[in-house]
A and B are shown apart, each in its own frame.
Chain A
Amino acid sequence: MSVTESSSEALKLRGQVIGEQAVTGPPPRQNLPSRKPDRWYKPKSVIGKIFLWIGLIGFSLLFMYPFVWLLAASLKPRGQVFDNALWPRTLVPENYVEVWNQLPLISWMFNSIAIALLAATAVAVSSSVVAFGFAYFKFPARNLLFGLVLATMMLPGAVTMLPQYLIWKELGLIGTWAPLWGANLFGSAFYIFLQRQFFLGLPRELFEAARIDGASYWGLFRRIAMPLSIPSFIIVFVFEFQASWNNLQAALIYLNAGSVEGFTAPLGIAYAMTKYSPTAGGQGDYQYVMVASLLITIPMLLIFAFGQRYFIEGVATQGRKG
């Protein structure tokens, strides 16, 4: 049996492995009927149903309201941004054209996308390699080291923030992109945990068979483990992409001293908030902040639209660490 054959066999197993064990839920127990049919607590009475739907729709409106406000304010003229009418009296779609002249939004977006791609790719690949090391191999002190990985998850970022700045300063990389993604090359605790869980769910015979066929250890990872772990790889990727896209503090520390064009999108908008805020020189052109905010939110909503189940599964997995 060749390596490709055995991995295609595993592909058949994939649905089950991913669906039941590694990502979505705890391992299925034997001798128990499937719980699927009664996973939901349905209300029995009509009044219960009415209250449920009022609640659901009411909260939907509450959660959507700021988005509506954001959209509306982005279409308002300068004088009306701070007024209390939800819908603008005069629509100014030109804001969406003018914003590109007002703010270097293109370079902010480009910087953010490039950094997020680097950060997400680096951490997904490195965490996957490390996770495979912990999942497949037996070596002295493995459990101790893995415990250490888990312990670093509890470490508050504030403690390492300052010395990490000094490390990057020693390397002469302040003001470059490196500090915003470089540390991702060394894996990240939660992602290592998540990928390891996934690899542990793969049948070991698969790897044994490939070993007999003469596959190297790296081959096991590269040709079996990696192709099979694409779903958890995507979870890590989208999670880190979002985290990087959202990262204000690191940009503030490492890029704030540089040119405005070199900012990332969050740092740029924070800068625009100050530039156009009502306190800094009366009624500023805050509508441009609104347009820019909306524009940097859209990529995240698109990613969520395509990768929703990866986000939900990733978050749900966090809860099972404890």
Chain B
Amino acid sequence: MTTHAERDAEAAAPRSLPPRRKKKTGFAAKYNKREAIAGYLFIAPWVIGFLVFTLGAMIYSLVISFSNYNLARNTATPVGFANYERLFEDPKVALALGNTLVYALMAVPLEVAFALFLAMLLARVGKGAGFFRTVYYLPKMTPTVATASVFLLLLNGNTGAINRGLSVIGIEGPQWLVDPAWVKPSIVLMTLWTVSGTMVIFLAALKNVPRDLYEVASLDGAGPVRQFFTITVPMISSAIFFNVIVLTIAAFQIFDQAYLLFWRDQSNSSPESSLFYAVYLFQQAFRQFNFGFAAAMAWLLFMIIMLITFIQMKFGNRFVYYEGDDR
């Protein structure tokens, strides 16, 4: 308040003193011109890339989505909202969207729970944690094609190792890759095997929880379950929140695993329950060359992801605890 008052007083005071050195105003007061120019030059690569490969590309894609651009025939005429109307008419769009949604609902909670469980195991080892962390992280380093090629064997309904393992404990395993009901769990299983990236984020968060909180809680008689829900979960809530958002965005774009296990071979028919949104988009764009329709599909996906992320953020901010709350 005083600064305002002072400024007002200064402005009101008659300037009878000899003229001072010219006061810097606006840009000159805040920035050094040479430094600002240098700063812009340093960030220029990103600005150019953004204008061409992000903003330009998005505008281009929006324009295409209102045309019947076909790459093979190289024709494009504006068609208004026809591609967007087709999104609602094409039953495969709804099918692919439903498959993707179901997959995300299965995969994201399981990934978060499994990764957190593993992180809590690792957080309890002193020496040797590095060794186990390495072992758990190796699947993440494995290229997805290699993972898929070996899971194709492991998931084989008749001879695969997974069903053989299940038969040991008396369960007759399903036809993972053939039975439409088990297609998504197959992919979830593969994703869970490579969950260690999420685990490392949880581990870093767990290490930052002050130990004395647990000591106080156990003195007050809180058991391990109670401590988990009243201390661990709130204290690492920002990591949980981050992982949920990132994994959801990834789940909505699942492509590689589904392509490799089911859609790689075009001569073969695959269960419809394995047709994920990104796979159908890819087929429309790069197999049928319907770029206009594919662009509309991409925009629908974009809207859905933005909407879900927005909802998650809205809900998330209610329970996320930020350390020191100074951000």
Query: A interface vs B, CB < 8 Å?
Result: 25-26, 35, 38-43, 52, 55-56, 59-60, 63-67, 69-70, 73, 81-84, 86, 126, 129-130, 132-134, 136-140, 142, 145, 148-149, 152, 154-167, 183, 185-187, 192, 217, 221, 242, 245-246, 248-249, 252-253, 256, 265-266, 269-270, 273-274, 277, 279-280, 286, 289-290, 293-294, 296-297, 300-301, 303-304, 308, 311-312, 315-316, 318-322
Question: Which of B161, B253, B294 has the largest count of A CB atoms less than 10 A from its CB?
Answer: B161
23 residue pairs from A and B, CB less than 8 Å apart? A26-B323, A64-B138, A70-B150, A83-B159, A84-B161, A137-B39, A139-B39, A149-B46, A154-B249, A156-B302, A161-B285, A167-B60, A185-B49, A187-B45, A256-B286, A266-B143, A269-B145, A273-B149, A274-B264, A280-B265, A280-B267, A289-B149, A311-B141
Identify whether the interface residues of B are mostly helix, strand, loop, or mixed.
helix
Is the pair A52, B57 in contact by a Cβ cutoff of 8 Å?
no
Determine, out of B5-13, B16-24, B206-214, the stretch whose residues face the partner at the interface. Answer: B206-214
Is the pair B125, A155 in contact by a Cβ cutoff of 8 Å?
no
Given contacts A273-B149, A293-B150, contact A137 B124 (CB under 8 A): no
The smallest beta-carbon distance between A94 and chain B, in angstroms, is 20
Instruction: Write out the residue numbers on chain B whose beta carbons fall within 8 Å of the beta carbon of A39.
Output: 207, 211
Is the pair A315, B200 in contact by a Cβ cutoff of 8 Å?
yes
Instruction: Apart from A39-B211, A158-B302, list 8 A-B contacts with CB within 8 A.
Output: A52-B125, A59-B121, A162-B294, A167-B60, A185-B49, A249-B282, A315-B200, A315-B201
Q: Does residue B175 face the partner (Cβ distance < 8 Å to A)? A: no
Is the pair B124, A52 in contact by a Cβ cutoff of 8 Å?
yes
Is the pair B193, A66 in contact by a Cβ cutoff of 8 Å?
yes
Report the bound CA distance from A87 to B207 in whole Å. 40
Instruction: Write out the residue numbers on chain B whose beta carbons fall within 8 Å of the beta carbon of A70.
Output: 146, 150
Is the pair A41, B249 in contact by a Cβ cutoff of 8 Å?
no
Report the bound CA distance from A322 to B242 in whole Å. 6
The smallest beta-carbon distance between B196 and chain A, in angstroms, is 8
Tally of A-B Cβ pairs under 8 angstroms: 301
Q: Does residue B144 face the partner (Cβ distance < 8 Å to A)? A: yes
Is the pair B153, A81 in contact by a Cβ cutoff of 8 Å?
yes
The smallest beta-carbon distance between A234 and chain B, in angstroms, is 16
Report the bound CA distance from A215 to B216 in whole Å. 54
Is the pair A183, B208 in contact by a Cβ cutoff of 8 Å?
no
Q: Does residue B50 face the partner (Cβ distance < 8 Å to A)? A: yes
Report the bound CA distance from A274 to B245 in whole Å. 34
Q: Does residue B204 face the partner (Cβ distance < 8 Å to A)? A: yes
Q: Does residue B132 face the partner (Cβ distance < 8 Å to A)? A: yes
Closest to B143 in A: A246
Question: Which of A43, A63, A149 has the largest count of B CB atoms less than 10 A from its CB?
Answer: A63
Is the pair B146, A308 in contact by a Cβ cutoff of 8 Å?
no
Closest to B36 in A: A139
In the complex, which of the residues B32, B126, B136 contacts A59, with contact meaning CB atoms closer than 8 Å?
Answer: B136
